[in-house]
Chains A and B, each alone.
Chain A
Amino acid sequence: MARKDRMSGNEAVAYAIKQINPDVMPAFPITPSTEIPQMVSNYIANGQMDTEFIPVESEHSSMSATIGAEAAGARSLTATSSAGLALMWEELLLAASNRMPCALALVNRTLSGPININCDHSDGMGARDTGWIQIYAESNQEVYDNFIQAYPIAEDPRVHLPIMICQDGFITSHAVMNIELLEDGEVKDFVGEYEPEEFLLNPGKPIAVGPYSVSNYAMEARKNQEEALERSKEVILEVAKKYEALSGRKYGLFEEYRTEDADYIMVIIGSAAGTAKQAVDDLREQGKKVGVIKLRVFRPFPADELAEALKNCKAVAIMDRTESYNGNGGPLGSEITAGLFRNKVMIEAVNYIYGLAGRDFTVTDVYDIFAELQDAIENGTKVEQFKYIGLRK
C-alpha cells in the first residue's frame, strides 16, 4: 500500500517516471528541470528502470525525438523549463497536431530576458495555445499525482493529445515535502500498457505521419484537434475519479477552498495557492468571507465551470504569474473575464500580475488584495483592472 517519503518535486516526478518506466525519454539539461533527466539516468544506470534515454543536443531535438519515438509506437516523454520550452515551440505544435500522446514534465521558470532562473509561468503560458493539455500543481504531492494520471488522459482514444505536467521551479521542484507514494504495481496497473492503434513500426502495416495538407483538408484537421482537446475535460475528470479510488486524493479541473459563502475569491495557479489558502484561513478568523480557487487544468480551459463557481461572489482577484505584453492583462485574466462575460456573470474582476521571475508572494500580498476588492465593493473605490503587486517601491 501507499508509503510515505520526503521528496522534492523533481524527485517526485522522476520517481513517477521510474514507476511508469516509459519506453523512450529524450532530454536536454536546463535549470530547474535538469534533475529530472539526471535522476532518470541514475535509475537507468542502476538497473531500476530500463527506459531508453536519448541525451539530445537541444530541446528542439528532445521534442523532435519524442515525437519520432511516440509515432514509432513508444510511450515517450521529455522534461524542460523556460527557454527549453520556447525552443521546442514549433515541435509542441507538431506533437499536438500529429496527435502524439506524449508527456512533458515542465518545471516552470521565467523566460528571458533578463535571464533569470526562478519561477513564474511565462514558459507554460507562452505555450498555452500549442494544443497541449496543461495541468498545474500546488505541491510535490500534486505533481506526482498529476504525472501518474498523465498517460491515461493523453492516450485515451477520445483524446490522443500530448500532456504537460507543470510545477513551480524551485518552489516545489527543489523544496522537499512529505509525500505519499503509490506502490510500483499500483502505478503499473493504473497507467497500463501503451497499445497504439497505428504506429510506424507496425510490421506490414506502414503508415505515413506529418503530411503536407492543402487547404481542402487542413481546417478539418484543426477542428478535430480542437474537439479532442474539449473532450479531454471529461477524460481528465474520469481519470481523476479512478485515481481518487486508488489514492484517496481528489482532483478536479480546479479546487475550491472555502468559497461556498465567499464574497471575495482569488483565482490562482500553482504553489502560490498555498500562500493564498493560508491568508484565507487568517482572514476567515477575522470574519472575512474570502476563498480561493486553485486552477489545476489550464488547457482545456474550464471557462464555464469557473464562471459557475464565481457567480455568487462580489469580486474576484485573478492572479497571473506572467506578463502577456498585450497591454490588457495576463492570460488567466483575459480568459476568465471572457468566460464570465459569456456566462453573463457581471462581477468585479481585477487581474493582478505577481511573482515574476521568482519575486516572493506573501500572505500580506493576499490580505492587501482582498482588502482592495472589499474597498471596491463596499466604498465604490475604483480599482485598476490590471495591475502589478509586489513591485519594489
Chain B
Amino acid sequence: MSSYNLKEVMSKPERLAPGHRMCAGCGATIGVRAVLRALHEGDHAVIGNATGCLEVSTYMYPYTAWEDSYIHNAFENAGATLSGVETAYRALKKRGKLPEDVNFKFITFGGDGGTYDIGFQSLSGAMERGHDMVYVCYDNGAYMNTGIQRSSATPMYADTTTTPVGSKSNGKMQNRKDLASIIADHDVPYVAQTTFTNDFKDLHMKAEKAIYTEGACFLNIMTPCPRGWRYETADIMKICKLAVDTCYWPMFEVDHGKWRLTYEPKKKLPIEDFLREQGRFKHLFKPENEDLLVQFQAEVDRRWEDLQYKCAREH
C-alpha cells in the first residue's frame, strides 16, 4: 500500500459532493468521504447504499451528492444488490461489453441497523460468496434515521427511544453484537474495525486495503451521531479518541486470517471517560448505578482481552 500523507489525501477531489442534507457534524459523511479518498484516481466505482440517513439525505431526487455511479435499493439488501452489480461487471467484462482498461470498484455503505440487523443475512450471503466488493458499516449504534431506536449494535445501558431509561429501566439490556468478528469468521480476505483519528491514517489505510484486496472485504467504522449520542457536536474527534483509548472501540484488522491491533493505547482509560461525554449514558452516573458502570467496564475488559488473545495467537 502507498505511503500516507494527510495533506495529499485531503487535496484529492471529493467523491461525495457538498450540498447533501446530512446533519452538521454527522459522523457518517466523515466516514464515507474518508473511505472514498482511498479510491485511486482514475478508478471508477459503483457505490451501494442501504436505506438510512445517508441514503435519504444524499440522493434526494432530482439531486445526488455522489460523483460515482450509485445504487440504493432497499434497507435490508445492500449486500445482495451490490453482489448483482459486481457480478454484472464480471459478466460484461467477460463478454467484451466493457472496455478492457476500465477498472470499477464496488463499495456499499450501510448503517448499523441495515448491517447488523435487517441486512445481516444479505451481508452474510455476499461475504460468503466472495464478491469482489467492500461492505462498509457506518456504525452509530442505533437506528438514527427513524429516531434513535436500539439496534444490535447499541451498547448496553444506552438510552434509546425503544430502550428508554425510566423508573424500571436502565436502558438497553443486552451487549452489542461483535459484527467485525462475525464477518471475520466468514473467512473473508480482509476485515477491519476503525474510527476517526487525528490524521485519519488508520481509516485510510484500512479502506485502501479493503478496496484493493480481491474478494469480499468488510469495514466497521464507528461514526458518532451527535443527535443520538447527545454530545457536543464539535467534540466528535474527542469522542472517537476516548472510544479507542478506553478500548471500547478497538482498532484492528484481520488480514487473511491474521488478527492485528492497529492501535494500542499507552494507558487504557476507564470507560467512564467515554461514557461521561454522552447524554445517552447520563443515568449511569447516578450514585445508585455505580454497579452498572462496573459491569460495563467488565464487558469492555473481557472483549479487549479476547481481542488481544486473538492478535497474540497469530504471532
Chain B residues 63-90 with CB under 8 Å of chain A are 64, 66-74, 76-77, 79-85, 87-90
Say which one of A56-64, A345-353, A373-381 lies at the interface with B: A56-64
Residues of A within 8 A of B129 (CB): 54-56
Query: In whole angstroms, what is the CA distance A204 to B94 when docked?
Result: 20
Say which one of B95-103, B187-195, B212-220 lies at the interface with A: B95-103
Verify B72–A68 contact, CB threshold 8 A: no
Say which one of B24-32, B54-62, B162-170, B253-261 lies at the interface with A: B54-62
Chain A nearest CB, measured from B70 CB (Å): 4
A325 within 8 A of B: no
Chain B nearest CB, measured from A80 CB (Å): 14
B147 within 8 A of A: no
A313 within 8 A of B: no
Which listed residue, A62, A69, A208, touches B88 by the CB 8 Å rule? A69
Encode contact with B along A68-96: 1 for CB under 8 Å, 0 otherwise.
11111110100000000000001100100
Query: In whole angstroms, what is the CA distance A166 to B199 when docked?
Result: 57
Residues of B within 8 A of A326 (CB): none
Most A CB within 10 A of own CB, among B81, B122, B125: B81
Known A-B contacts A72-B46, A90-B74; the reply to A57 vs B121 at CB < 8 A is yes
Residues of A within 8 A of B44 (CB): 201, 203-204, 206
B4 within 8 A of A: no
Chain A residues 191-236 with CB under 8 Å of chain B are 200-204, 206-214, 217
Known A-B contacts A58-B125, A72-B89; the reply to A210 vs B59 at CB < 8 A is yes
Known A-B contacts A58-B121, A94-B73; the reply to A213 vs B94 at CB < 8 A is no
Residues of B within 8 A of A60 (CB): 76-77, 80, 122
Verify A24–B87 contact, CB threshold 8 A: yes
Most A CB within 10 A of own CB, among B55, B61, B99: B61
Verify A24–B84 contact, CB threshold 8 A: yes
Verify A211–B71 contact, CB threshold 8 A: no
Known A-B contacts A60-B122, A212-B56; the reply to A72 vs B64 at CB < 8 A is no
B124 within 8 A of A: yes
Query: In whole angstroms, what is the CA distance A24 to B95 when docked?
Result: 12
Q: How large is the interface on B (under 10, 10 to 19, 20 to 34, 35 or more residues)?
A: 35 or more
Verify A68–B61 contact, CB threshold 8 A: no
Verify A213–B61 contact, CB threshold 8 A: yes
Chain A nearest CB, measured from B43 CB (Å): 10
Residues of B within 8 A of A26 (CB): 80, 83-84, 87
Verify A91–B87 contact, CB threshold 8 A: no
Verify B84–A200 contact, CB threshold 8 A: no
Verify A61–B125 contact, CB threshold 8 A: yes
B91 within 8 A of A: yes
Q: How large is the interface on A (under 10, 10 to 19, 20 to 34, 35 or more residues)?
A: 35 or more
Verify A206–B69 contact, CB threshold 8 A: yes
A50 within 8 A of B: yes
Most B CB within 10 A of own CB, among A69, A73, A94: A69
A67 within 8 A of B: yes
Query: In whole angstroms, what is the CA distance A204 to B67 when docked?
Result: 10
Residues of B within 8 A of A211 (CB): 59-62, 64, 72
Verify A57–B128 contact, CB threshold 8 A: yes
Residues of A within 8 A of B59 (CB): 208, 210-212
B92 within 8 A of A: yes
Verify A69–B84 contact, CB threshold 8 A: yes
Residues of A within 8 A of B66 (CB): 206, 208
A66 within 8 A of B: yes
Query: In whole angstroms, what is the CA distance A208 to B69 when docked?
Result: 6
Query: In whole angstroms, what is the CA distance A65 to B95 when docked?
Result: 19
Query: In whole angstroms, what is the CA distance A67 to B88 when docked?
Result: 10
Which listed residue, B72, B88, B89, B99, touches A210 by the CB 8 Å rule? B72
Chain A nearest CB, measured from B169 CB (Å): 33
Residues of B within 8 A of A200 (CB): 46, 69-71, 85, 88
Residues of A within 8 A of B99 (CB): 203
Query: In whole angstroms, what is the CA distance A56 to B77 when docked?
Result: 12
Residues of B within 8 A of A94 (CB): 73-74
Chain A nearest CB, measured from B47 CB (Å): 9
A23 within 8 A of B: yes
B285 within 8 A of A: no
Verify B81–A68 contact, CB threshold 8 A: yes
Query: In whole angstroms, what is the CA distance A216 to B46 when docked?
Result: 28
Known A-B contacts A68-B73, A69-B88, A210-B72; the reply to A61 vs B83 at CB < 8 A is yes
Most A CB within 10 A of own CB, among B82, B102, B121, B125: B125
Most B CB within 10 A of own CB, among A57, A60, A76: A57
A52 within 8 A of B: yes
Residues of B within 8 A of A90 (CB): 74
Chain A nearest CB, measured from B297 CB (Å): 38
Query: In whole angstroms, what is the CA distance A264 to B237 when docked?
Result: 79
Residues of A within 8 A of B60 (CB): 211-214
Verify B64–A67 contact, CB threshold 8 A: no
Verify A52–B87 contact, CB threshold 8 A: yes
Verify A68–B69 contact, CB threshold 8 A: no
A51 within 8 A of B: yes
Give the nearest-CB partner of A72 in chain B. Answer: B88
The 7 closest A-B pairs by CB, nearest first: A68-B84, A65-B84, A57-B125, A72-B88, A61-B80, A74-B88, A210-B72
A–B Cβ pairs within 8 angstroms, 19 of them = A56-B80, A57-B121, A60-B122, A64-B83, A64-B84, A65-B81, A65-B83, A67-B73, A74-B88, A76-B88, A91-B74, A201-B88, A204-B44, A206-B68, A211-B59, A211-B62, A211-B64, A212-B55, A213-B61
Known: A26-B80, A203-B44. 10 other contacts (CB 8 A): A52-B87, A56-B125, A57-B121, A64-B80, A64-B83, A71-B71, A72-B84, A72-B92, A74-B88, A200-B71
